[in-house]
Amino acid sequence: MLNGAALAGCAVFYYPGRDYVLIGLMLFLPLLDRGWKLPAFPSRRGNLIASSGLALAIAGLLIWQPQSLSYAISTLFLAALPEEWFFRAYFMTQLGQGRSSNLIASLLFSLLHGLTHDWTTALLVFVPSLFYGWLYQRTRDLSLLVLTHALSNLVFVLFLVTLLATFQGYLR
């Protein structure tokens, strides 16, 4: 819990390099916790097939929209990997099993997005965060989760941002 509070505390104020500090904290705070164990690499065939399918979907989107390659790489390594490593593989498992741990981790995940982006973003990431937590609790497969998160970010940027902007234009 203390590491989650430290992460949120570092996100409250804007300062140069804040995003890099947060990424570093998400990657390294779990390693400093002596009571935490690294997640095992699942070897179930279904997980491998699902991960391969996600990687192929990402590759297909990038073949179709090659100008999104730099975004895809950055979202994989600077968003999906550190966020899932910290919020699911570390924070949620430290809280325990079940819905309450997923709910608390998702609330912190959304809070962090609200502090670093805006509160609309916080609302938009809450439901996917609940899904990521559910998926991790069911599979315990971090690589599957990171690929799922990266694909959803890529789909959001390629398709839904324009749709949301159009919808917000109609509301004004």
pLDDT band at 1 (very low <50, low <70, confident <90, very high): low
Mean pLDDT of 151-161: 89
DSSP 35: T
d(CA 110, CA 148): 17
- The arithmetic mean of pLDDT across residues 74-98, rounded, is 94
How many C-beta atoms lie closer than 10 Å to residue 64's C-beta?
9
Give the pLDDT of residue 104: 95
A 10 A CB-CB count for 21 gives: 14
Determine the pLDDT at residue 129. 97
Are 86 and 29 within 8 A, CB to CB? yes
Q: In this predicted structure, what is the pLDDT of residue 60?
A: 96
- Give the pLDDT score at 28: 92
Number of helical (H) and strand (E) elements in the chain, helices listed first: 10, 0
DSSP percent split of the chain into helix, strand, coil, nearest 5: 85, 0, 15
Compute the average pLDDT of residues 95-103: 93
Whole-angstrom Cα distance, residue 156 to residue 48? 24
Q: Are 144 and 135 in contact (CB under 8 A)?
A: yes
Q: How many CB atoms lie within 10 A of CB 105?
A: 25
Higher pLDDT, 37 or 58: 58
- Rounded to 10°, the helix 2-12/18-32 angle is 170
Q: What's the whole-model pTM score?
A: 0.88
Residue 172: pLDDT over 60: no
CA pair distance 137, 131, nearest whole angstrom: 10
